[in-house]
A and B are shown apart, each in its own frame.
Chain A
């Protein structure tokens, strides 16, 4: 429960002295001889929140310790008692606890709390607790998670290390929604969890009520209400009576630990916290080590079946099939949904591909040197070809077509040699290649280059052919290629 303000420190010292004496005697339930003394003490003692102060008070007040010595034979056993913390009352049922909480609240107490093994409906209202602001904090945390998750992805994928994956945009909202969703939940959950602990001022492993054996029942079948001695209205006898009237089966006073060292986190808990923190950092340490050092060892394969999949690549040998090839041909009996041989209406040849000039770059057994009839040369088509070229071809052939793409440059940097064909050098052969053959190379590959028929539609392959032709022309241009009226612009 929220602590009350230190608004009644004035009588603290005298009250402390009186109560420290009174408390152990009362705790033994022996008699009420000292009632008068307790009452005259003003019924209120304020224990400062800070552990140091409490410790100082104890240390400076020898009489308290003496008292303990005198009462060691009581039921409370050998353990030394500090000053009075408050009283703890036990109730039979959660309903009884709620009723009692309401009575205690109505009696004007503010410094009390209820303890039960499970959430008890209505207890907040009965105790007069305001609604928590935690939901608002959680909303802010969740929203920060959304923004943070989105920013993280934007920064990594679109700003810090943009990477061209088949021409897909580096930043696209739908693709980033799942991560932003997860970070929202993560941030909201963490805010809820830690916010709950912080708002409740937990953990308090040194809480005085833990010193009572009875209090262990609170995690099992005990419904308890504790009133703190620092409450303005607290008076050991009257408060006890109030609780008994409210239906408490047992009322027991609770005392602070006289040892100030008890009001710190136990050492083992620190050990656990430090150990788990260090363990959580191990993966990061390994990542940093890997980034900063070189190794001749192969990669770790955490997901072996993903890295080495039981599948055959195209054009590879595969013994399971009778013909020893991994490739499977067309399935017998397959019928195209639209065929030019049919008498039925059909306005395209997409399925049967009978137009070999368009689909293969071959006419009458020869590579075509012109263009298929479906292709009209236009600036838009060449522009399309440029765009497709820069997605599919530049990694190896480079933007200028001279064969210096990032893949071959990378191989060179590593000390190897894997040059891509120079597409624009007149001596390298591509310039004199018929259009049909160039189209065929794009479709089906050449040497180590794989075919792109499955990735690039037919129209786009022809557009790339057009763009390669444009590249060749520009890279081998002479002064005659520049319009006469603009030659002056050249130096």
Chain B
């Protein structure tokens, strides 16, 4: 029954020191790992593989923050009850956007400073005028895919994300003091337009940061698929983070198996959402077999990347989908935690598979050859270990960033929906 409960008298809802500890360990450790990966990794083509690995890792943490921001928005938009106890944690994750924006300068600044080895369109723009005229397809996109314009858009995306996260967190924290139910209503009203702004921002950010790596290729569902992956990452990360916080003795009474069960249900749902969009993209391109579109899959299916493609299919969809179908895998927490970690790992594999095959391009035989072109046998998976170390490092930094935001209460203690959320049960 939707019995309204109150916070358990012994419940520790204050974040206390854990935020500081996360930041103190995570940020230095992560930065060291990233620097080590750079120093030990290949440096050819202006350390391009490092840059691609960095971008992949950044997209990973960005997508988790994006997913958590959406979690907050949809909570208010749908007037959810059950998720109230984990909403503050999601708010804290989303609050890392300004810091993630700074972290992203790691690939924006080199581009502005004249390193043209990340985005092919950036490299192309730097070529002599006559060369450019050989490729009308690229020249036509030159106004949009320009380093300065790109950097400005990047800043706008990050400002929008940060603004949304900050505004909702501010209202939520103000409610901790006042307990004013009108704040809930205000957030609910703002969540509608907020979701629209969020959706448009994510679509453009996905196009810019992911799809523009192979600027001649396009797929209108690309960002939807990236968003689906982001939600997988966010639910898995939220479950693991919440469980970790509980291990420190906090929130032990508030967050129950029921809440993990619901996180698991949404994780399960978004795994299929991701697979649905990924297959939609694949199916249409595969069937039409048009040269400029098919390259995306041609260079992922018939090169060194074949096994990665299979890994994405099985690891990001089939295996977790089947395993999360049952009720008990979501309710037996050790099992659910293993599955959540699995989903996080394969979310990275998916992003790596999206980003990295675009890294093979350059000048051959006096001609500029873009990404996803040239002989199949020239496309190799390069220095995976480096990308993995960067990813681990970036994740550590991200956890540290989340720690810096973890202050005050870990649940919205005076939210009118807290009672129903505490007493929430799955039937």
Contact = CB atoms under 8 A, between A and B. Distances in A.
B134 A95 contact: no
A345 B367 contact: yes
A488 interface: no
B177 interface: no
Category for how many chain B residues contact A = 20 to 34
Given A121-B427, A345-B366, A98 B1 contact: yes
B130 A347 contact: no
Interface string B158-197: 0000000000000000000000000000000000000000
Contacts of B425: 121-122
Contact of B283 (A98, A135, A177, A335): A177
B279 interface: yes
Contacts of B367: 345-347
With most chain B CB atoms within 10 A of its CB, the pick from A95, A337, A347 is A337
Given A95-B1, A139-B325, A347 B283 contact: no
Contacts of B366: 345
Given A121-B2, A337-B135, A337-B136, A347 B286 contact: no
Interface string B1-27: 110000000000000000000000000
B351 to A, nearest CB: 23
A323 to B, nearest CB: 27
A335 B132 CA distance: 13
Given A338-B134, A344-B134, A122 B286 contact: no
B427 A122 contact: yes
Interface in A411-464: none
B9 to A, nearest CB: 24
A178 interface: yes
B247 interface: no
With most chain A CB atoms within 10 A of its CB, the pick from B133, B136, B287, B427 is B427
A98 B427 CA distance: 14
B385 interface: no
Nearest to A126: B1
B1 A174 contact: no
A37 to B, nearest CB: 40
Nearest to A124: B427
A124 B426 CA distance: 11
A151 B367 CA distance: 49
Interface in A326-350: 335, 337-338, 344-347
Contacts of A344: 130-131, 134
Contacts of A125: 427
Contacts of A121: 1-2, 425, 427
B314 to A, nearest CB: 14
Contacts of A119: 427
Contacts of A175: 287
B282 A174 contact: yes
A133 B1 CA distance: 22
Nearest to A119: B427
A52 to B, nearest CB: 38
A82 B138 CA distance: 86
Nearest to A178: B283
B365 A174 contact: no
A335 B325 contact: no
A95 B3 CA distance: 9
A175 B283 CA distance: 7
Interface in B284-326: 286-287, 325
A125 B279 CA distance: 40
B365 A177 contact: no
A470 B283 CA distance: 39
B279 A177 contact: yes
Contacts of B427: 119, 121-122, 124-125
Category for how many chain A residues contact B = 20 to 34
Contacts of B365: 345, 347
A178 to B, nearest CB: 7
Nearest to B286: A174
Nearest to B287: A175
A119 B427 CA distance: 10
B140 to A, nearest CB: 12
A347 to B, nearest CB: 6
Interface string B389-427: 000000000000000000000000000000000000101
B142 to A, nearest CB: 15
Interface string A97-117: 010000000000000000000
A124 B366 CA distance: 74
Contacts of B2: 121
A178 B283 CA distance: 9
B42 to A, nearest CB: 28
Interface string A29-57: 00000000000000000000000000000
With most chain B CB atoms within 10 A of its CB, the pick from A98, A177, A344 is A344
A125 B136 CA distance: 68
B134 A122 contact: no
A275 B135 CA distance: 66
B417 to A, nearest CB: 16
A454 B131 CA distance: 29
B338 to A, nearest CB: 22
A335 B1 contact: no
A335 B282 CA distance: 32
A175 B366 CA distance: 40
B164 to A, nearest CB: 33
A119 B325 CA distance: 23
B310 to A, nearest CB: 13
A5 B364 CA distance: 83
Interface string B101-141: 00000000000000000000000000000110111110000
A370 to B, nearest CB: 29
Give me the 6 closest cross-chain CB pairs, A-B, nearest first.
A345-B366, A122-B1, A121-B427, A337-B134, A121-B1, A174-B286
23 contacts: A98-B1, A119-B427, A121-B2, A121-B425, A121-B427, A122-B1, A122-B425, A124-B427, A139-B325, A174-B282, A174-B283, A174-B286, A177-B283, A335-B136, A337-B135, A337-B136, A338-B134, A344-B130, A344-B131, A344-B134, A345-B365, A346-B367, A347-B365
Given A98-B1, A338-B134, A347-B365, 20 more contacts: A95-B1, A119-B427, A121-B425, A121-B427, A124-B427, A125-B427, A135-B327, A139-B325, A174-B282, A174-B287, A177-B279, A178-B283, A335-B133, A335-B136, A337-B137, A344-B131, A344-B134, A345-B365, A345-B366, A347-B367
